[in-house]
Amino acid sequence: MSSSSLTDATLNPREVYTRADLERWERSAPSLAVLGHPVGHSVSPDMHNAALAVLRAQRPELEGLAYFKFEIEPEELERALDLLREKNFRGVNLTVPHKEHAAKILAKLGRETDEVGKKTLNTLLSGETGWIGRNTDGYGLAQALERDLDVKIPGRSVVILGAGGAAFAAAAEVLRQGCAALWIGNRSGDRLEDLLRDLRALLPPSAPARKSKRPRLLPEAIRGFTLSDPPAADWPADVVLINATTLGMKRDDPVPLDAALLGPQARVLDMVYRRGGKTTPLLGMAHARGLRAADGLSMLVWQGAAALAIWLHGVLQIHLKPQSVAPVMMTAACAALGLKPRDLQPDA
């Protein structure tokens, strides 16, 4: 691109922009964005701009608000976040590899985050004095499990594959909901041990608690394993498997776990989703065994709807229910990915 200013007349929400583009950003209206590396594949602009177009019909104060995507190198993130505030960006989504790095940046600055956001962030809201960090991945996961797979986590045993930010957010959510047991699998041991320590720290003290219908999960009920040696014999027949690795995004990726190890009532959620209706190897194996399984598109839609609700309430005091925009977001995501339209399951 040229060195001239980027204005409303020259900007395109489907374009991929860079930190250098932010330096010459001169858009008059407030903006939203997703930051990633890579980010060209992201359908978040399609989802959010479709939702905003519908909302504007009844909310004229949303006129001009638009969502863009930025390819940001990891070492550029802190500068990019400063520029985004200078350029009137009111909300930001973060994807790989920025979720954990952003949490460290906000922690260093003493900025507000939620409990999960202390380790991994996917949603930032521009506050009076800086970015406020949130994580809507757990909400998106819970919605996807219940609506796509009819899974309610309380009392269920869960296996999560991966030890990055996505795995931490997923694990924190199933712990919050009261899973019966949790296994975390990863290729390498060092990062796995760090994750297990952080997750066990989320559990309440072992002292006697107030009476509750939900049994207390003890730290030893969170167990780790390497993907090369899964303790499948210990898993109940109705275990819930969640793939929080990126394995499956590329055509030649190996399967993160052999679905033949799962019991007949197991449910499988693969956070990976692919263009053109292509199935990940894990989902293909699960379906071949007759297991109920789903990809991560619904999770993406629901976390995005929750993020939009956070931004509109925080910036414009608009109270938005995620379910009011999730259907239009799903339609836009499917169109952008070349998928057949999907209906979101109704409220439980």
Residue in this structure with the two tokens 């991929």, named with its chain if needed: 16
Record the tokens describing residue 195, joined without a space: 């994750």
Give the integer Cα–Cα distance in Å for 167 and 147.
20
Give the integer Cα–Cα distance in Å for 251 and 297.
18
- pLDDT above 70 for 2: no
Give the integer Cα–Cα distance in Å for 93 and 310.
11
- Where are the domain boundaries for CATH 3.40.50.720 in the chain? 138-295
Residue 266, C-beta contacts closer than 8 angstroms, at least 6 positions apart: 235, 237, 238, 239, 240, 241, 286, 291
pLDDT at position 347: 61
- pLDDT above 80 for 152: yes
Question: Which of 15-19, 81-85, 178-182, 190-194 has the least mean pLDDT?
Answer: 190-194
Give the integer Cα–Cα distance in Å for 149 and 164.
24
pLDDT at position 201: 87
pLDDT at position 277: 78
**pLDDT per position as a tens digit, 202-250:** 887 654 445 555 556 677 789 999 999 999 999 999 999 999 998 877 7
Distances from the Cα of 24 to the Cαs of 11, 39, 197, in angstroms?
Answer: 12, 20, 43
Give 267's pLDDT tier (boundaries 50, 70, 90).
Answer: very high
What sign results for the dihedral spanned by CA atoms 218, 262, 348, 46?
positive
Peptide bond into 341 cis (omega under 30): no
- pLDDT above 70 for 67: yes
Domain 16-135+300-337 is classified in which CATH homologous superfamily? Answer: Leucine Dehydrogenase, chain A, domain 1 (3.40.50.10860)
pLDDT at position 276: 84
Give the integer Cα–Cα distance in Å for 9 and 29.
12
**pLDDT per position as a tens digit, 129-145:** 899 999 999 999 999 99
Neighbours of 343 (CB within 10 A): 8
User: Higher model confidence: residue 23 or residue 204?
Assistant: 23
- pLDDT above 90 for 170: yes
Mean pLDDT for 74-87 is 96
Question: Which of 30-44, 134-148, 151-165, 197-211 has the least mean pLDDT?
Answer: 197-211
Which of 5-19, 203-217, 298-312 tops mean pLDDT? 298-312
- Where are the domain boundaries for CATH 3.40.50.10860 in the chain? 16-135+300-337
Q: Residue 47: name the closest of 66, 62, 64 by CA.
A: 66
pLDDT at position 1: 43
List active site positions.
Answer: 99
pLDDT at position 207: 45
Mean pLDDT for 303-326 is 96
Q: Which 3 state secondary structure label does DSSP give 314?
A: helix
- pLDDT above 50 for 54: yes
Give the integer Cα–Cα distance in Å for 49 and 289.
38
Distances from the Cα of 149 to the Cαs of 241, 268, 274, 293, in angstroms?
Answer: 11, 8, 19, 7
- pLDDT above 90 for 112: no
pLDDT at position 343: 84
Residue in this structure with the two tokens 């590396």, named with its chain if needed: 37
pLDDT at position 346: 60
DSSP state of 13: T
User: Higher model confidence: residue 52 or residue 10?
Assistant: 52
Q: Which CATH class is domain 138-295?
A: alpha beta
- pLDDT above 70 for 262: yes
pLDDT at position 284: 94
